[in-house]
Structure 1
Amino acid sequence: MNVQRGSTTFLKVIIFLIGFAVLAVCIVLLPEAARRDAIERPGDYSLYPLLVCAYGICITFSVALYRVFKLLTYIEKKNAFSELSLQSLEVIKKCTFTVIFFIFLAIVYLRVHAQYTGDDAAGPISLGLMGILATSIIAAIVDVLQKPIKNVLNS
């Protein structure tokens, strides 16, 4: 097994583990948070918009992980500079913008909710802004990776 195949296999295992963690969040943690909130504050549905955003982020992130897994498969098959890898990168970039959209919706909701309840939402909002920054960096990296592939395909 050569170095490239070993490194792509390692990355595939890491992606699989991250995907498993996201699945655990969607199946175990988020429903448990909703259950506890319903018990503590019956009739208060203020957590539900945040749950919708969290599920949207998890689903979009899972789609992006799947496309990264496929991209690594293309790289293993010496098919890195192909139309298929370009399509995978395009889907990953769209997923990053969708995640940014969901984080932005959560930030807006937190700000509006804090305005009405008098809570301080500075901590969660700053974490959301850091998430937007990290996702924007990933989008920029994907855009940089797309350019050489487009150049190879156009020439």
Structure 2
Amino acid sequence: MKRGTVIWLKGTIFVIGIITLVVSIFFLPGLAKEAAEMNPEYAYLRFPVLVGLYATEIPFFFALYQALKLLNYIERDLAFSELAVFSLGFIKKCAFTIIILYVIGIFMLAIQNALHPGIAIIGIVIVFATLVISLFTAILQELLRSAIELKSENDLTV
């Protein structure tokens, strides 16, 4: 992979992380406060929902870090190594964690009878997008594992 492409991908990961961090620090609390003022009957859910959203950011940032490590492996010509397989596995686990947290959150809001259809749609879209990422990562991990195995067999025959 060309050096410029790797740098561009790293920059994209940094921008995604910074935007997520800025939105979560500066905009989410204000949105939660505004939603609590507009719907006082659900004001008691303000902090649990915020905590749930912040909890999903922890595996998200871990996955971004693993993606950066994966790009570093690609830069150092270690793309076909067990380190890359481990990073992909960690990204897959982070995606499953995000899915579980969102499903629990949607379920809890539905139990409280506070699940607005717009929030449900956004939650379901996030769950399905994360599911696609986790499935893609699992497939990529298995392909990489098979390629490493073929490479090691090839190295032994030569």
- TM-score of Structure 1 vs Structure 2, range by shorter chain: 0.7 to 0.9
Alignment of 1:100-139 (within 5 A): 100-114=99-113, 121-139=116-134
Gaps of at least 5 residues in structure 2 are 153-158
Q: CA deviation at 1:38?
A: 6.6
- Give yes or no for the alignment of 1:59 onto 2:62: no
Gaps of at least 5 residues in structure 1 are none
Task: Tell me which amino acid in the other structure corresponds to 1:77.
Answer: R
Q: Counterparts of 1:104 and 1:120 in 2: how far apart (Å)?
A: 12
Q: Counterparts of 1:87 and 1:149 in 2: how far apart (Å)?
A: 10
Task: Tell me which amino acid in the other structure corresponds to 2:60.
Answer: F
Conservation of the 8 A alpha-carbon contact between 1:53 and 1:105: no
TM-score (ref. length: structure 2): 0.83
Q: CA deviation at 1:77?
A: 0.9
Alignment of 1:41-60 (within 5 A): 41=40, 44-60=43-59
Identity %: 37
> What corresponds to 2:27 in structure 1?
29
Runs of 4+ in 1 over 4 A off after TM superposition: 34-41
Q: CA deviation at 1:103?
A: 0.9
Task: Tell me which amino acid in the other structure corresponds to 2:88.
Answer: L
Conservation of the 8 A alpha-carbon contact between 2:36 and 2:46: no
- Give yes or no for the alignment of 1:144 onto 2:139: yes
Task: Tell me which amino acid in the other structure corresponds to 2:142.
Answer: K
